[in-house]
Structure 1
Amino acid sequence: MIKRIIAIGILSAAAVSCKKETAVSEEKRVGDSVKTETKEDQYKPIDTACSPVNKTEDYITSLQWHHSRIEKEMAGNSPEQNDKVYEDYVKIRGKYTECLMNLHSDILDKYVNYYNGDKDQYIFPDNIKKIASELKKAGLEFREVGEGMTEIWTIPGYYSSLFKNKVTPDYGAYISQTDKESETNYAADAGLIISWEQLGDRLMFWENFMNTYPESRLIKTVQQDYKMYLSDYLLGMDNTPTYERDGEKGTGKLNDENRAEFNRIIKKYPNSNTAKKAKEIITLFDAQTPVDQIDEKINGER
């Protein structure tokens, strides 16, 4: 899964140093005309800097305001302008999400404890149900991420529904794929959750993306994530390695399912970089190359 990292950076001017104000309809005279301001016109979102005085509803209302704002803004924009709108919006949502996680750190710490093994379901108290309902209003949800940890994530499909057909083709492909990948956790407890075949298909999607959109503003991000995925694909993770290690010799033997997956990619995408690396890893293991040397070679290229 292209990682859904909480982005912290320069936010759009609409998100900075703002505070929520009590809004009532009022009239303002502009020249010889009278303009009626609505609650929406007068509302100002709270600052994206986390504050202990802010409540859940403050962050949710601000998120909803930004959602409505960019919908209106994108209607008059070019696809290229909306690419930038997407980037800024992800940062804004990332900051508010971070604030919500800080606000509800106690719930996140205890979330997994509400699972009832006998009933094979979660049983939440009313206060958590209420918070979950509030989060949903802004396209957010509680998500278990492994090792007893829970975070707040954007729900799968949220960005696609908002930006579909409003951005350039590369951004459209990127948003669609990352939304798809967010449907399930990629890994947990130092082990891969998705199947090896699913990981191979992800690699090929992103390799094709890089070949199709080499000048995309997203290319550096995609390249970094592709290399991370490739390392996991070739060597696995701590609890889901692609090989069995011989402790005495320091060599390893590829697992049958991983060898079969590598051969699938080689056969289906013979001219791809992913297939090239799959052939290389097979050769290295078959030559009884020490695992440490293989690891250094693969991860050194990252």
Structure 2
Amino acid sequence: MIKKSLAAFILLVSIFSCKKEASKTSQEKIEKDTISIVETKEDLFKPIDTTCSSKNKTEDYIETLQWYKQKTEKEIAQNSPEQNDKLYEAYSKIREKYIVCLSETLGKVLEEYVNYYDSESNSYKFPENIRKLSAELKKGSLEFREVGEGYTEIWSVPDHYFSVFKNRVTPDYNTYIEQLSKESESLYSADAGLVISWKELGERTIFWENFIKKYPKSPLISGVKVMYNSYLYDYLFGMDNTPTHEHSDGTLYDENRQEFNRIIKKYPNSNVAKKSKELMSLFDAKVPEEEIHKIINIERE
């Protein structure tokens, strides 16, 4: 009797174990099938071409930008910092291409954007469709940016690239991307005039001078030198509507002279300080402006 009861118990345990195993196997199959379906959907997605087409809608570009961001983040996790440097270059270029196409698609909106500015409240008042469009752009890490003279453009949000590549690239690229994210937080110039302060411009110029000294062999160096020279030129001579001096008699404005003296005192061994000293001496000596430009010799592109 005991033997029969034991045999029955063993049989029940065996049946229960088989059912449990079958249930586990079935669940695992469902989970694998679900994952397979998700992966298939991702693999089947085809980003729209970078050649602009009137057939593409705003949603198409945003979906493609999101897809590229996810794809890039997956690659970043597997790459070396050097590989991610190249990935950053490729990623930023393809985003720029899509932004150009998106700007064409939203051309009418960009033209009319400035009309939503209300001078009485000193703020923008957007209709519902523009608010929805702004929210849609945000999904692709994009925003409307008013750039002066009645023009509005579509820009990547300031911290987009740094949020994607932070500490996953080589030190020179990391420094470069981080600084660009900071600089793009505000407009640099508008209506042929400087928007940021002279002090901020001076600090930016010093930053890029130091970058050139620290990373002389960086693949970024040629582009950085162009940017540095542009900043240095603006710092010394100003822009059409924000000059550093009176064109009629070559007199330096007091605020610029004070700023030059500040930079000389703070960064005495810098090229910016050297050029500032030279510029002040030339203007004080009443050297013709055309000759000063030749002597200072800064190429601005």
Question: TM-score scaled to structure 2, two decimals?
Answer: 0.85
- Offset at residue 118 of structure 1 (A): 2.0
User: How many Å separate the matches in 1 of 2:42 and 2:252?
Assistant: 60
Q: What whole-Å deviation, never above 9, does each CA across 1:114-157 have from its counterpart, x for those lacking one?
A: 11122222111222111111100010000000001000001111
| 2:264 corresponding residue in structure 1 | 266
State percent identity of aligned pairs: 61
Alpha carbons 2:145, 2:153 under 8 Å: kept: yes
Alpha carbons 1:141, 1:155 under 8 Å: kept: yes
Greater share of residues in strand = 1
**Which stretch shows the higher mean deviation, 196-205 or 127-136?**
127-136
Structure showing greater relative contact order (alpha-carbon pairs closer than 8 Å, 6 or more residues apart) = 1
1:146 and 2:148 are equivalent in the alignment:
yes
User: How many Å separate the matches in 1 of 2:280 and 2:153?
Assistant: 38
| 1:62 corresponding residue in structure 2 | 64
User: How many Å separate the matches in 2 of 1:120 and 1:262?
Assistant: 34
Q: Which sections of structure 1, spanning at least 5 residues, go unmatched?
A: 1-34
Change (3 A) 1:111 1:96: same
Change (3 A) 1:54 1:301: closer
User: How many Å separate the matches in 2 of 1:106 and 1:236?
Assistant: 33
User: How many Å separate the matches in 1 of 2:48 and 2:146?
Assistant: 28
Letter in 2 for 1:261: E
Q: What whole-Å deviation, never above 9, does each CA across 1:225-247 have from its counterpart, x for those lacking one?
A: 1001111000000000001122x
| 1:93 corresponding residue in structure 2 | 95
- Offset at residue 44 of structure 1 (A): 1.0
User: How many Å separate the matches in 2 of 1:131 and 1:165?
Assistant: 32
Alpha carbons 2:260, 2:273 under 8 Å: kept: yes
Which of the two has higher C-alpha Rg? 2
Q: Which sections of structure 2, spanning at least 5 residues, go unmatched?
A: 1-35
Q: Please, which of 106, 109, 112 is the counterpart of residue 107 of structure 1?
A: 109
RMSD (CA atoms): 1.4
Alpha carbons 1:231, 1:299 under 8 Å: kept: no
User: How many Å separate the matches in 2 of 1:232 and 1:105?
Assistant: 31
User: How many Å separate the matches in 2 of 1:106 and 1:44?
Assistant: 28
Letter in 1 for 2:271: N
User: How many Å separate the matches in 1 of 2:57 and 2:247?
Assistant: 51
| 2:287 corresponding residue in structure 1 | 289
User: How many Å separate the matches in 1 of 2:115 and 2:259?
Assistant: 37
- Offset at residue 41 of structure 1 (A): 1.6
User: How many Å separate the matches in 2 of 1:227 and 1:214?
Assistant: 15
User: How many Å separate the matches in 2 of 1:296 and 1:104?
Assistant: 44
| 2:171 corresponding residue in structure 1 | 169
User: How many Å separate the matches in 1 of 2:243 and 2:270?
Assistant: 23
- Offset at residue 301 of structure 1 (A): 4.3
Counterpart mapping for 1:175-194 below 5 A? 175-194=177-196
User: How many Å separate the matches in 1 of 2:192 and 2:79?
Assistant: 43
Letter in 2 for 1:84: K
Letter in 2 for 1:278: S
Letter in 1 for 2:81: P
Alpha carbons 1:231, 1:298 under 8 Å: kept: no
Alpha carbons 2:233, 2:298 under 8 Å: kept: no
Change (3 A) 1:157 1:300: closer
Q: What whole-Å deviation, never above 9, does each CA across 1:164-222 have from its counterpart, x for those lacking one?
A: 01000000000000000000000000000000000000011000100000000000000
Greater share of residues in helix = 2
Extract structure 1 runs of 4+ deviating beyond 3 A: 296-302
Aligned residues: 265
Counterpart mapping for 1:1-302 below 5 A? 36=37, 37-246=39-248, 251-298=249-296, 301-302=299-300
Change (3 A) 1:192 1:299: farther
Letter in 1 for 2:273: A
